[in-house]
Structure 1
Amino acid sequence: MADNVRQRIVEAATRLFARKGYAGTSTREIVEAAGTTKPSLYYYFGDKEGLYTALVRDELDRLVHSFDLAEDLPLGTALERFCRHYVTFFQSDVSTIALTFRELFGLGEEAIQRMAQGYFDGLRQRVAQLIARGVTRGEVPPSVDPDYSALAILGILNIFLMRWILQGDAYDLSRVLTQIDALVRGWQIHPTG
Protein backbone atom coordinates (compact mmCIF):
# COMPACT_ATOMS: atom_id res chain seq x y z
CA MET A 1 0.00 0.00 0.00
CA ALA A 2 2.85 2.41 0.84
CA ASP A 3 4.40 1.94 -2.61
CA ASN A 4 1.00 2.74 -4.10
CA VAL A 5 0.87 6.08 -2.23
CA ARG A 6 4.39 6.95 -3.33
CA GLN A 7 3.59 6.00 -6.91
CA ARG A 8 0.40 8.09 -6.90
CA ILE A 9 2.39 11.10 -5.66
CA VAL A 10 4.99 10.55 -8.38
CA GLU A 11 2.37 10.26 -11.13
CA ALA A 12 0.39 13.31 -9.95
CA ALA A 13 3.52 15.43 -9.57
CA THR A 14 4.83 14.43 -12.99
CA ARG A 15 1.57 15.49 -14.64
CA LEU A 16 1.32 18.75 -12.70
CA PHE A 17 4.97 19.76 -13.03
CA ALA A 18 4.87 19.05 -16.77
CA ARG A 19 1.71 21.11 -17.19
CA LYS A 20 2.28 23.96 -14.73
CA GLY A 21 6.00 23.93 -14.01
CA TYR A 22 7.74 23.52 -10.69
CA ALA A 23 7.01 27.02 -9.37
CA GLY A 24 3.39 26.91 -10.57
CA THR A 25 2.57 23.69 -8.74
CA SER A 26 1.76 23.62 -5.04
CA THR A 27 2.17 20.68 -2.68
CA ARG A 28 -1.57 20.98 -1.97
CA GLU A 29 -2.33 20.39 -5.67
CA ILE A 30 -0.01 17.41 -5.78
CA VAL A 31 -1.49 15.65 -2.75
CA GLU A 32 -5.05 16.38 -3.88
CA ALA A 33 -4.34 14.93 -7.33
CA ALA A 34 -2.67 11.91 -5.69
CA GLY A 35 -5.51 11.39 -3.21
CA THR A 36 -3.21 11.57 -0.20
CA THR A 37 -1.94 14.03 2.41
CA LYS A 38 0.98 16.43 2.78
CA PRO A 39 2.54 14.28 5.54
CA SER A 40 2.73 11.43 3.02
CA LEU A 41 4.54 13.64 0.53
CA TYR A 42 6.92 14.82 3.25
CA TYR A 43 7.48 11.25 4.45
CA TYR A 44 8.56 10.01 1.02
CA PHE A 45 10.28 13.08 -0.38
CA GLY A 46 10.99 15.62 2.38
CA ASP A 47 9.54 18.56 0.47
CA LYS A 48 8.48 19.66 -3.02
CA GLU A 49 12.08 20.10 -4.18
CA GLY A 50 12.92 16.61 -2.90
CA LEU A 51 9.96 15.24 -4.85
CA TYR A 52 11.01 17.04 -8.00
CA THR A 53 14.61 15.91 -7.65
CA ALA A 54 13.44 12.31 -7.11
CA LEU A 55 11.26 12.48 -10.24
CA VAL A 56 14.09 13.72 -12.39
CA ARG A 57 16.61 11.32 -10.87
CA ASP A 58 14.28 8.32 -11.33
CA GLU A 59 13.65 9.18 -14.95
CA LEU A 60 17.28 9.76 -15.74
CA ASP A 61 18.34 6.61 -13.87
CA ARG A 62 15.93 4.73 -16.11
CA LEU A 63 17.83 6.12 -19.11
CA VAL A 64 21.27 5.30 -17.74
CA HIS A 65 20.31 1.73 -16.87
CA SER A 66 18.34 1.08 -20.04
CA PHE A 67 21.40 1.35 -22.24
CA ASP A 68 23.37 -1.79 -22.89
CA LEU A 69 27.08 -1.13 -23.41
CA ALA A 70 27.08 -3.56 -26.33
CA GLU A 71 30.56 -4.89 -25.67
CA ASP A 72 30.79 -6.80 -28.92
CA LEU A 73 30.17 -3.77 -31.16
CA PRO A 74 32.85 -1.54 -32.68
CA LEU A 75 33.10 1.89 -31.03
CA GLY A 76 31.42 3.82 -33.85
CA THR A 77 28.47 1.44 -33.94
CA ALA A 78 28.14 1.36 -30.15
CA LEU A 79 28.19 5.17 -29.92
CA GLU A 80 25.69 5.51 -32.76
CA ARG A 81 23.44 3.04 -30.97
CA PHE A 82 23.84 4.93 -27.68
CA CYS A 83 23.08 8.31 -29.31
CA ARG A 84 20.02 6.93 -31.08
CA HIS A 85 18.81 5.36 -27.82
CA TYR A 86 19.46 8.59 -25.90
CA VAL A 87 17.52 10.81 -28.29
CA THR A 88 14.71 8.28 -28.73
CA PHE A 89 14.38 7.96 -24.96
CA PHE A 90 13.88 11.70 -24.61
CA GLN A 91 11.48 11.85 -27.54
CA SER A 92 9.38 9.00 -26.11
CA ASP A 93 8.19 10.90 -23.04
CA VAL A 94 8.17 14.58 -23.83
CA SER A 95 6.30 15.67 -20.68
CA THR A 96 8.81 14.15 -18.27
CA ILE A 97 11.78 15.31 -20.26
CA ALA A 98 10.35 18.80 -20.72
CA LEU A 99 9.86 18.86 -16.97
CA THR A 100 13.52 18.00 -16.52
CA PHE A 101 14.99 20.63 -18.81
CA ARG A 102 12.50 23.46 -18.18
CA GLU A 103 12.87 23.42 -14.45
CA LEU A 104 16.44 22.24 -13.99
CA PHE A 105 18.00 25.67 -13.90
CA GLY A 106 15.31 27.18 -11.66
CA LEU A 107 15.97 24.88 -8.72
CA GLY A 108 19.23 26.32 -7.54
CA GLU A 109 22.81 25.18 -7.54
CA GLU A 110 22.43 22.52 -4.83
CA ALA A 111 19.65 20.67 -6.66
CA ILE A 112 21.55 20.87 -9.93
CA GLN A 113 24.65 19.45 -8.21
CA ARG A 114 22.65 16.50 -6.82
CA MET A 115 21.20 15.72 -10.23
CA ALA A 116 24.56 16.16 -11.93
CA GLN A 117 26.19 13.72 -9.54
CA GLY A 118 23.41 11.16 -9.86
CA TYR A 119 22.71 11.37 -13.54
CA PHE A 120 25.17 13.30 -15.64
CA ASP A 121 28.19 11.71 -14.01
CA GLY A 122 26.70 8.24 -14.35
CA LEU A 123 25.84 8.79 -17.99
CA ARG A 124 29.22 10.35 -18.75
CA GLN A 125 30.90 7.34 -17.14
CA ARG A 126 28.92 4.92 -19.32
CA VAL A 127 29.86 6.75 -22.51
CA ALA A 128 33.46 7.10 -21.32
CA GLN A 129 33.54 3.30 -20.81
CA LEU A 130 32.58 2.82 -24.45
CA ILE A 131 35.33 5.18 -25.59
CA ALA A 132 37.93 3.68 -23.22
CA ARG A 133 37.09 0.27 -24.63
CA GLY A 134 37.68 1.70 -28.12
CA VAL A 135 41.09 2.98 -26.99
CA THR A 136 41.96 -0.43 -25.49
CA ARG A 137 40.95 -2.19 -28.71
CA GLY A 138 43.01 0.19 -30.81
CA GLU A 139 39.95 1.66 -32.55
CA VAL A 140 41.02 5.17 -31.54
CA PRO A 141 44.41 6.50 -30.47
CA PRO A 142 45.41 6.66 -26.80
CA SER A 143 45.44 10.46 -27.07
CA VAL A 144 41.62 10.40 -27.06
CA ASP A 145 40.50 11.22 -23.51
CA PRO A 146 37.41 9.10 -22.76
CA ASP A 147 35.97 11.48 -20.14
CA TYR A 148 36.33 14.65 -22.20
CA SER A 149 35.15 12.87 -25.33
CA ALA A 150 32.08 11.60 -23.48
CA LEU A 151 31.34 15.16 -22.35
CA ALA A 152 31.69 16.37 -25.95
CA ILE A 153 29.22 13.78 -27.24
CA LEU A 154 26.71 14.41 -24.46
CA GLY A 155 27.10 18.15 -24.97
CA ILE A 156 26.21 17.84 -28.64
CA LEU A 157 23.19 15.66 -27.88
CA ASN A 158 21.97 17.84 -25.03
CA ILE A 159 22.13 21.07 -27.04
CA PHE A 160 19.96 19.55 -29.76
CA LEU A 161 17.55 18.14 -27.17
CA MET A 162 17.28 21.38 -25.21
CA ARG A 163 16.56 23.38 -28.35
CA TRP A 164 13.94 20.82 -29.36
CA ILE A 165 12.25 20.78 -25.96
CA LEU A 166 12.53 24.44 -25.00
CA GLN A 167 12.18 26.10 -28.40
CA GLY A 168 10.42 23.50 -30.50
CA ASP A 169 13.30 23.32 -32.98
CA ALA A 170 12.97 19.94 -34.63
CA TYR A 171 16.20 18.29 -35.69
CA ASP A 172 16.63 15.34 -37.94
CA LEU A 173 18.10 12.58 -35.77
CA SER A 174 20.08 11.16 -38.67
CA ARG A 175 21.82 14.53 -39.18
CA VAL A 176 22.66 14.77 -35.47
CA LEU A 177 24.08 11.24 -35.60
CA THR A 178 26.10 12.19 -38.69
CA GLN A 179 27.78 14.95 -36.68
CA ILE A 180 28.60 12.54 -33.83
CA ASP A 181 29.92 10.05 -36.38
CA ALA A 182 32.17 12.73 -37.91
CA LEU A 183 33.59 13.42 -34.45
CA VAL A 184 34.27 9.72 -33.84
CA ARG A 185 35.79 9.25 -37.31
CA GLY A 186 38.14 12.12 -36.52
CA TRP A 187 39.51 10.09 -33.61
CA GLN A 188 40.14 6.92 -35.55
CA ILE A 189 43.62 5.77 -36.39
CA HIS A 190 44.23 6.05 -40.10
CA PRO A 191 46.74 3.66 -41.64
CA THR A 192 49.81 5.35 -43.02
CA GLY A 193 51.21 4.62 -46.41
Structure 2
Amino acid sequence: MDGTRALEVTLDLPGRYREFVTIDPEAVHWLVPDTVKAERPTWLSVPAADVAPALRAFADGGLRQIGTLDYLMSISLAEHPVRPVPEGYHVRSALAGSVLRVEVVDGNGEVAARGLAGLAGEDAVAHGIVTEAAHRRRGLGSVVMSTLCREATAHGATTGLLCAVPDGEKLYTALGWTKRAQFVTGAVPTSGS
Protein backbone atom coordinates (compact mmCIF):
# COMPACT_ATOMS: atom_id res chain seq x y z
CA MET A 1 0.00 0.00 0.00
CA ASP A 2 1.22 3.51 -0.79
CA GLY A 3 2.37 4.73 2.64
CA THR A 4 1.80 8.33 1.62
CA ARG A 5 -1.96 7.66 1.26
CA ALA A 6 -2.61 5.04 3.95
CA LEU A 7 -0.93 3.00 6.63
CA GLU A 8 -1.66 -0.73 6.75
CA VAL A 9 -1.22 -2.44 10.12
CA THR A 10 -1.50 -6.19 10.67
CA LEU A 11 -2.89 -6.76 14.17
CA ASP A 12 -3.88 -10.45 13.87
CA LEU A 13 -6.59 -10.03 16.53
CA PRO A 14 -9.92 -11.88 16.58
CA GLY A 15 -12.34 -9.77 14.52
CA ARG A 16 -9.56 -7.34 13.57
CA TYR A 17 -6.85 -8.94 11.50
CA ARG A 18 -5.79 -5.77 9.72
CA GLU A 19 -6.44 -2.02 9.89
CA PHE A 20 -6.03 0.76 7.34
CA VAL A 21 -5.42 4.29 8.65
CA THR A 22 -5.55 7.32 6.38
CA ILE A 23 -5.68 11.10 6.71
CA ASP A 24 -6.33 11.46 2.97
CA PRO A 25 -10.05 12.04 2.26
CA GLU A 26 -9.68 10.72 -1.31
CA ALA A 27 -8.05 7.52 -0.08
CA VAL A 28 -11.15 6.74 2.00
CA HIS A 29 -13.11 6.17 -1.22
CA TRP A 30 -10.79 3.42 -2.49
CA LEU A 31 -10.08 1.98 0.97
CA VAL A 32 -13.77 1.34 1.74
CA PRO A 33 -14.10 -1.28 -1.06
CA ASP A 34 -10.73 -2.82 -0.07
CA THR A 35 -11.99 -3.06 3.52
CA VAL A 36 -15.31 -4.59 2.48
CA LYS A 37 -13.79 -7.24 0.19
CA ALA A 38 -10.91 -8.19 2.52
CA GLU A 39 -10.71 -11.93 3.18
CA ARG A 40 -9.96 -11.38 6.88
CA PRO A 41 -11.67 -8.86 9.23
CA THR A 42 -10.30 -5.43 8.36
CA TRP A 43 -11.02 -2.02 9.88
CA LEU A 44 -10.64 1.43 8.32
CA SER A 45 -9.73 4.36 10.61
CA VAL A 46 -9.82 8.01 9.59
CA PRO A 47 -8.59 10.94 11.69
CA ALA A 48 -9.86 14.27 10.31
CA ALA A 49 -11.04 17.73 11.34
CA ASP A 50 -14.49 16.63 10.12
CA VAL A 51 -15.24 12.91 9.84
CA ALA A 52 -18.72 13.36 8.32
CA PRO A 53 -17.48 12.64 4.74
CA ALA A 54 -15.76 9.46 5.95
CA LEU A 55 -18.93 8.33 7.73
CA ARG A 56 -20.93 8.91 4.52
CA ALA A 57 -18.37 6.90 2.54
CA PHE A 58 -18.59 4.12 5.16
CA ALA A 59 -22.40 3.99 4.91
CA ASP A 60 -22.44 4.18 1.10
CA GLY A 61 -19.81 1.45 0.80
CA GLY A 62 -21.18 -1.05 3.32
CA LEU A 63 -19.15 -0.32 6.46
CA ARG A 64 -20.58 0.43 9.90
CA GLN A 65 -19.01 2.72 12.47
CA ILE A 66 -17.14 0.88 15.21
CA GLY A 67 -17.50 2.40 18.66
CA THR A 68 -17.80 6.12 19.28
CA LEU A 69 -16.50 9.27 17.68
CA ASP A 70 -13.03 9.40 19.21
CA TYR A 71 -10.22 11.97 19.28
CA LEU A 72 -6.63 11.91 18.08
CA MET A 73 -4.59 13.66 20.79
CA SER A 74 -0.95 14.62 21.31
CA ILE A 75 1.44 16.03 23.90
CA SER A 76 5.10 16.96 24.19
CA LEU A 77 6.29 14.15 26.47
CA ALA A 78 8.54 16.55 28.39
CA GLU A 79 5.40 18.47 29.44
CA HIS A 80 3.47 15.46 30.74
CA PRO A 81 2.94 15.75 34.51
CA VAL A 82 4.56 13.17 36.79
CA ARG A 83 2.05 11.40 39.03
CA PRO A 84 3.11 9.67 42.25
CA VAL A 85 2.14 6.05 42.88
CA PRO A 86 -0.52 5.86 45.62
CA GLU A 87 0.31 4.01 48.82
CA GLY A 88 -0.33 0.27 48.54
CA TYR A 89 0.56 0.09 44.85
CA HIS A 90 3.75 -0.31 42.83
CA VAL A 91 4.61 0.02 39.13
CA ARG A 92 6.13 -2.54 36.79
CA SER A 93 7.37 -1.59 33.35
CA ALA A 94 9.06 -3.49 30.54
CA LEU A 95 10.20 -2.85 26.99
CA ALA A 96 9.81 -5.68 24.47
CA GLY A 97 11.04 -4.66 21.04
CA SER A 98 9.35 -1.32 20.43
CA VAL A 99 6.46 -1.83 22.88
CA LEU A 100 6.49 -0.40 26.41
CA ARG A 101 4.18 -2.08 28.91
CA VAL A 102 3.26 -0.55 32.27
CA GLU A 103 1.26 -2.15 35.06
CA VAL A 104 0.20 -0.72 38.42
CA VAL A 105 -0.05 -3.61 40.87
CA ASP A 106 -1.81 -3.69 44.25
CA GLY A 107 -0.45 -5.22 47.47
CA ASN A 108 -1.91 -8.63 46.55
CA GLY A 109 -0.04 -8.70 43.24
CA GLU A 110 -3.19 -8.06 41.19
CA VAL A 111 -2.94 -5.72 38.19
CA ALA A 112 -5.02 -2.65 39.03
CA ALA A 113 -4.21 -0.57 35.93
CA ARG A 114 -2.22 -1.07 32.75
CA GLY A 115 -1.30 0.37 29.39
CA LEU A 116 1.22 0.23 26.61
CA ALA A 117 2.94 2.50 24.14
CA GLY A 118 4.43 1.69 20.77
CA LEU A 119 7.68 3.53 20.06
CA ALA A 120 8.28 4.76 16.50
CA GLY A 121 11.21 7.14 16.19
CA GLU A 122 10.37 10.25 18.21
CA ASP A 123 6.73 9.21 18.69
CA ALA A 124 5.19 7.15 21.48
CA VAL A 125 1.67 5.92 20.71
CA ALA A 126 -0.26 5.07 23.89
CA HIS A 127 -2.91 2.35 23.75
CA GLY A 128 -5.04 0.14 25.96
CA ILE A 129 -5.01 2.31 29.09
CA VAL A 130 -7.29 0.50 31.55
CA THR A 131 -8.02 0.78 35.27
CA GLU A 132 -9.88 -2.15 36.79
CA ALA A 133 -13.27 -1.22 38.29
CA ALA A 134 -12.27 -1.98 41.90
CA HIS A 135 -9.32 0.44 41.64
CA ARG A 136 -10.90 3.45 39.93
CA ARG A 137 -10.88 7.02 41.29
CA ARG A 138 -7.37 6.66 42.75
CA GLY A 139 -5.40 8.27 39.93
CA LEU A 140 -3.97 4.99 38.63
CA GLY A 141 -4.69 5.84 34.98
CA SER A 142 -2.64 9.01 35.47
CA VAL A 143 0.17 6.94 37.01
CA VAL A 144 0.15 4.62 33.97
CA MET A 145 0.28 7.58 31.56
CA SER A 146 2.98 9.34 33.57
CA THR A 147 5.14 6.19 33.63
CA LEU A 148 4.63 5.49 29.93
CA CYS A 149 5.64 9.07 29.07
CA ARG A 150 8.76 9.00 31.27
CA GLU A 151 9.84 5.61 29.93
CA ALA A 152 9.19 6.65 26.32
CA THR A 153 11.29 9.79 26.84
CA ALA A 154 14.12 7.65 28.21
CA HIS A 155 14.01 5.69 24.94
CA GLY A 156 14.21 8.80 22.73
CA ALA A 157 10.56 9.69 22.15
CA THR A 158 9.53 13.35 22.32
CA THR A 159 5.87 13.32 21.23
CA GLY A 160 2.98 11.34 22.69
CA LEU A 161 0.03 10.31 20.50
CA LEU A 162 -3.18 8.47 21.31
CA CYS A 163 -6.74 7.88 20.21
CA ALA A 164 -9.14 8.70 23.06
CA VAL A 165 -12.73 7.62 23.56
CA PRO A 166 -14.92 10.41 25.00
CA ASP A 167 -14.50 9.28 28.63
CA GLY A 168 -10.73 8.98 28.25
CA GLU A 169 -10.51 12.37 26.55
CA LYS A 170 -11.39 14.01 29.88
CA LEU A 171 -8.46 12.32 31.65
CA TYR A 172 -6.00 13.12 28.87
CA THR A 173 -7.11 16.76 28.64
CA ALA A 174 -6.58 17.10 32.41
CA LEU A 175 -3.05 15.73 31.90
CA GLY A 176 -2.27 18.35 29.22
CA TRP A 177 -2.99 16.40 26.03
CA THR A 178 -4.46 18.37 23.09
CA LYS A 179 -7.18 17.23 20.69
CA ARG A 180 -5.82 17.31 17.13
CA ALA A 181 -8.62 15.65 15.15
CA GLN A 182 -11.75 13.56 15.33
CA PHE A 183 -11.18 9.84 14.78
CA VAL A 184 -13.66 7.34 13.34
CA THR A 185 -13.37 3.65 12.50
CA GLY A 186 -15.51 1.46 10.23
CA ALA A 187 -15.75 -2.25 9.53
CA VAL A 188 -17.99 -4.73 7.75
CA PRO A 189 -21.03 -5.50 9.92
CA THR A 190 -20.94 -8.95 11.49
CA SER A 191 -23.88 -11.11 12.50
CA GLY A 192 -25.39 -9.76 15.68
CA SER A 193 -23.98 -6.24 15.20
Smaller-chain TM-score bracket? under 0.3
Structure showing the higher strand proportion among its residues? 2
Structure showing the higher helix proportion among its residues? 1
Higher relative contact order (CA 8 A, sep 6+): 2
TM-score (norm 1): 0.23
Q: Could you say which structure has the larger radius of gyration?
A: 1
